[in-house]
Structure formats: C-alpha cells, structure tokens
C-alpha cells in the first residue's frame, strides 16, 4: 500500500486532495478495470467514515485545564537526561529509522521549521484522570514522508529516554495511527515548551488512544515490520509489564 493510499483515508475534508490522490492512483494502475477503481474509492470513503479513522474532538481554548499533571516518569534521571535538561535540550536529537529509505536525524531547531499542527484535545489516563491541553508539533506523517518509510513497515515504535520501574519506556502504533493527522510529535503544551513532567523536549500525541500510548521523552521513532524482539514483544512498556491492551482506543 502506498503512502498515497494510506493518506487517502484522511482527506475527507479536502476534495481536491482526494481527487488528486485518486487521479494519481488511476494513472499508476491504468491497467485495472474501472470497477476495481470504484471499489478502491468506496473502501477509502468507508474507512474515512469509520470511528477508527475519524478525527477526535478538538476543544476550545477556554476548555484547557488549568494544570496538566505529570504521570509515570516525570523527571528521568538516566542516560544523560538531566544534562540535556540543564542545557535546554540544545543537543537533543530525534531520529527516524528502521524500515525507511533515508534514516534521518533532527535537532529541535530543525523540528521547529517543519509544518506544525496545534490541537486542543482531552487526555484520558487509565488511572482515572483526564486533562485538556493544547499541543503543538509536526505531524508524525511529515517525518515518515521525509524519511520515505517502507511499505514493509507495519508499526511505528516510539523510543524514549526514560527508564521507568521495570525498564526503558517505549510504545508502538500501527501505520493507520501513524499517518493520522492528529498524531503529532509535540514540543509545546499550552503554547510553552513542554515541561519536563510532560515529556520534554518531545512527546507523542496519539489522540485516538489512552494516555499510556502518548510516549514522552522521545529520542526517535523506528519503522518495523513486527514487534517481536522489542521489549517483551507486546508493543509497549505497559503492554509488557502491566497487561494493558496494545490498542487502547478512547
């Protein structure tokens, strides 16, 4: 499946883009019957209307919670993190690797130069609290497009800097969530640089899923075909050690 086809699921609000994608698809698959193409188009439309592909609710500025608590790791002490923090994360790097044609490494300044998305969303933690915050950062899809993620990639793994109680925190999502427009690599919360307790300098926002999927202290993302051999193989820290579901839809 091409990136174009993946993205086709998300362009409901933009007829021009959708037409563009379909036209390209038809050109590249000129040999196929018209009926196949109509089928593809209908599947795309249907997927766009299913809850899994829909945008989650975005809130108004007045809905923002007065404070956004920190949960899980809130001040990592391992692997040079305190030094990075003391240095305003000037030497922090974010890598895009695994099954990509062009592995990439970004400084925070470079990340600021990419197109940004700002969204006000509600975060739901399984421990029974919620908070509404405004998040800003590039869409994960921007990084994956720049790195030319392979069609063999089935998951995106979030790599984190913090060791939690049982080991290194990590998370993973499928390509559907990875290319979702509201899946962003956030560097701002409520217009300010991310506080340390909320994942400075970079954290994932995976808005259709519960809090534990929103990996903090990101050092990079890795495109993989399988989750075997990563952590205990269940796709995330809490999936490995807490029995949490890998797909944690809100």
Ligand X SMILES: Nc1nc2c(c(=O)[nH]1)N[C@H]1C(S)=C(S)[C@@H](COP(=O)(O)O)O[C@H]1N2
Site string for ligand X, 197-216 (x = CB under 6 A): xxx-----------xx-xxx
Of the listed pieces 47-55, 89-97, 112-120, 156-164, which binds ligand X according to CB under 6 A? 156-164
Of 125, 146, 232, 250, the one binding Mo ion (CB under 5 A) is: 125
Are 211 and 71 spatial neighbours (Cβ–Cβ below 8 Å)? yes
Written as six digits, the tokens of 113 are: 């130069």
Q: At what angle do helices 15-28 and 34-49 cross, to 10 degrees?
A: 140
Site string for ligand X, 78-117 (x = CB under 6 A): ----------------------------------------
Written as six digits, the tokens of 3 are: 């990136």
Are 33 and 26 spatial neighbours (Cβ–Cβ below 8 Å)? no
Q: What is the dihedral of CA 52, 53, 54, 57, to 10 degrees?
A: 70
Written as six digits, the tokens of 71 are: 């949960």
The separation between the first and the last C-alpha atoms of the chain, rounded to the nearest angstrom, is: 27
**Binds 137: which of Mo ion, ligand X, none (CB < 5-8 Å by kind):** none
State whether residue 69 is helix, strand or coil: coil
Interaction of residue 162 with ligand X, rule CB under 6 A = yes
- Pairwise CA distance, residues 227 & 219, whole Å: 18
Of the pair 54, 125, the CB lying nearest Mo ion is at: 125
Interaction of residue 250 with Mo ion, rule CB under 5 A = no
Of 70, 97, 103, 181, the one binding ligand X (CB under 6 A) is: 70
State whether residue 86 is helix, strand or coil: helix
Interaction of residue 235 with Mo ion, rule CB under 5 A = no
Report in angstroms how near the CB of residue 122 gets to Mo ion at its nearest. Answer: 13
Report in angstroms how near the CB of residue 126 gets to Mo ion at its nearest. Answer: 5
DSSP 221: E
**Binds 220: which of ligand X, Mo ion, none (CB < 5-8 Å by kind):** none
Report in angstroms how near the CB of residue 208 gets to Mo ion at its nearest. Answer: 15
Rg (CA), the chain: 19
Written as six digits, the tokens of 250 are: 């809100």
Q: What's the CA angle centered on 108, arms 155 and 123, to 5 degrees?
A: 55
Of the listed pieces 42-50, 94-102, 178-186, 191-199, which binds ligand X according to CB under 6 A? 191-199
Interactions with Mo ion, residue window 161-220 (CB under 5 A): 211-212
Pairing of strands 117-125, 129-137: antiparallel
Report in angstroms how near the CB of residue 38 gets to Mo ion at its nearest. Answer: 43
Of 9, 73, 136, 183, the one binding ligand X (CB under 6 A) is: 73
Of the pair 106, 217, the CB lying nearest ligand X is at: 217
- Pairwise CA distance, residues 105 & 53, whole Å: 29
Query: Which residues of the shown chain bind Mo ion in the complex (CB under 5 A)?
Result: 125, 211-212
Query: Which residues of the shown chain bind ligand X in the complex (CB under 6 A)?
Result: 68-73, 125, 160, 162, 164, 169, 197-199, 211-212, 214-217
């Amino acid at each position: 499946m091409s990136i174009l086809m993946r993205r086709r699921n998300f362009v409901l609000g933009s007829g021009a883009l959708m037409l563009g994608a379909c036209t390209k698809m038809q050109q590249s698959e000129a040999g196929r019957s018209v009926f196949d193409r109509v089928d593809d188009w209908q599947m795309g439309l249907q997927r766009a209307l299913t809850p899994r592909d829909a945008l989650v609710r975005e809130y108004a500025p007045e809905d923002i919670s007065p404070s956004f608590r920190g949960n899980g790791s809130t001040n990592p002490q391992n692997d040079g993190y305190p030094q990075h923090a003391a240095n305003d994360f000037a030497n922090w790097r974010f890598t895009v690797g695994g099954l990509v044609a062009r592995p990439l490494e970004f400084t925070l300044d470079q990340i600021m130069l990419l197109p940004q998305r700002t969204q006000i969303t509600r975060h739901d933690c399984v421990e029974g609290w919620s908070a509404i915050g405004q998040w800003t950062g590039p869409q994960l899809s921007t990084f994956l497009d720049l790195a030319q993620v392979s069609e063999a990639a089935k998951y995106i793994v979030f790599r984190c800097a913090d060791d939690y109680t049982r080991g290194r925190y990590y998370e993973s999502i499928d390509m559907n969530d990875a290319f979702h427009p509201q899946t962003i690599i956030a560097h701002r919360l409520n217009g300010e640089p991310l506080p340390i307790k909320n994942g400075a300098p970079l954290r994932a926002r995976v808005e259709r899923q519960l809090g534990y999927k929103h990996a903090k202290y990101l050092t990079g993302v890795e495109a993989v075909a399988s989750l075997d051999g990563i952590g205990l193989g269940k796709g995330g820290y809490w999936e490995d050690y807490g029995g949490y579901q890998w797909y944690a839809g809100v």
